[in-house]
Amino acid sequence: MALNRRLANEIARIGNHDWEVTAVAPAHFAGDLGPVALEHFPGEICRLEGIRVFGSRSPHMFVYGPRLRSLMREQWDFIHCWEEPYVFAGGQVAAWSLASVPLAFFTAQNRPKNYPPPFSWIEKYCLRRSSGWIAAGSTVAQAQLPRGYDARPYRVIPHGVDLKSFYPNKPAGSEIRARLEWSIDGPPVVGFLGRFVPEKGLDLLTSVLDRIKSPWRAMLVGGGAMEDRLRQWARAYPDRVRIVTGVNHDQVPAYLNAMDLLCAPSQSTPRWREQFGRMLIEAFACGVPVIASDSGEIPNVVGEAGVIVAENDRDAWLTAIGELLENPTQRVRLAGLGLERAPDFSWPVVARQHVEFFNQILDAGDHRASA
């Protein structure tokens, strides 16, 4: 995704003449929400290499084609692997890169899991081979440090948001409402953005909306296995609910601007809890008030800029949503707090944190590992 390469481009930009960046990405990926071809955008600063991949229906087991081997054998000063260290592709990057080149991997895994072979073997190999690692949040570091990850330098660095794409834009939001055959005015719009899967809390959200007495409209944007169930629920509210699928990432800002508040009711499971919540920082940047559960990393991302509700407390969710629906002044206040927090996650800030960590590893030459 072009927007997701902002990290590489910002590293190239802030690095000026010190860093010359090449981004390597799948030329085509099956994806869990549909196929994605490598996107290009004009003015890209970094060099872009699209590589054929195999088995991309599984993010854990897909692998890059042989072009990756030749790329990894070039004389790089540093390699950042934006793949989990226990997946096939992460192991592939570690195995095919030169042992003398510092390698840092990225992980968003905030559950202390014991993987079965061969994933456990891949993880141990990547950790031995690495010179450092980046955690997407504090809960990630807490989960991984006791599992041997403390043997390598690390840094907690969040995901980023493009403030040039995500910003308050009432005309764009009004256009989306008109496209959905909604009036520009009318009841507040409760929004959801993400995968239509049980762990994202859609059963909770829909059951709470069923109980709310205040006027509301709801827009659920995303896709996934629960789509049919959501559409069946929406039939009871033909004028009040819109299920929107097939939205590209570059279209997301307009849909966020059509919302009066965003709900992120993620539900922890024995094997998963919210690892970050990119929709939260995107909503902040668009000036959309946020109500979110306390699953995983969410409280750390939201801070004081939104309303945090216990993930399983349906009565508390009913109260939180109802209060915001009835209180436009509170929505304006929360929108302002989100706009103040959004710059903490801007790509230039996030990229600078990456460069500082990379330079730390480069300056400490004794941290370079060999397989």
Indicate which CATH number applies to the domain containing 126: 3.40.50.2000
Say whether both 192 and 133 belong to one domain: no
105 in a structural domain = yes
* Residue 302 within any structural domain of the chain: yes
Please indicate, yes or no, whether residues 67 and 105 belong to a single structural domain of this protein: yes
Pairwise CA distance, residues 137 & 298, whole Å: 9
**Do 43 and 134 lie in a common domain?**
yes
Q: Please check whether residues 215 and 78 belong to one and the same domain.
A: no
State residue 134's pLDDT score: 98
Closest CA to 321 of 264, 267, 370: 264
User: How many domains are there within the chain?
Assistant: 2
- At 206-251, the pLDDT tens digits run 999 999 999 999 999 999 999 999 999 999 999 999 999 999 888 9
Domain assignment of residue 355, yes or no: yes
Do 194 and 210 share a domain, yes or no? yes
pLDDT at 349: 97
| pLDDT value of position 368 | 47
Q: Record the tokens describing residue 350, joined without a space.
A: 């996030």
Tokens for 34? 């549909």
Cα 350 to its chain centre, rounded Å, is: 13
Q: Please check whether residue 320 lies inside any domain of the structure.
A: yes
Question: Which residue from 107, 83, 111, 113 is spatially nearest to 95, judged by alpha carbons?
Answer: 83
CB-CB contact of 88 with 117 (8 Å): no
Are 84 and 100 contained in the same domain?
A: yes
**Terminal-to-terminal C-alpha distance of the chain:** 31
Q: Are residues 213 and 131 in the same domain?
A: no
**Same domain flag for 207 and 278:** yes
- For residues 198 and 86, state if they share a domain: no
Q: Look at residue 165 and tell me if it is in a domain.
A: no
- Determine the structural domain holding residue 283 and report its residue range: 170-344
Whether 71 is covered by a domain: the verdict is yes
For the chain, list residues with pLDDT below 70: 32-33, 366-371
Q: How many CA atoms lie within 13 A of 257 on its CB side?
A: 20
Residues 126 and 194 reside in one and the same domain: no
pLDDT in tens, 167-216: 999 999 999 999 999 998 899 999 999 999 999 999 999 999 999 999 99
Are 180 and 314 contained in the same domain?
yes
Q: Distance between CA 314 and CA 44 in Å, rounded?
A: 46
**Considering the domain boundaries, does residue 124 fall inside one?**
yes
C-alpha angle 75-28-16 in degrees, rounded to nearest 5: 40
Does residue 189 lie in a domain region?
A: yes
Cα–Cα dist 238/257, whole Å: 22
Global pTM?
Answer: 0.93
> Is 153 in the same domain as 193?
no
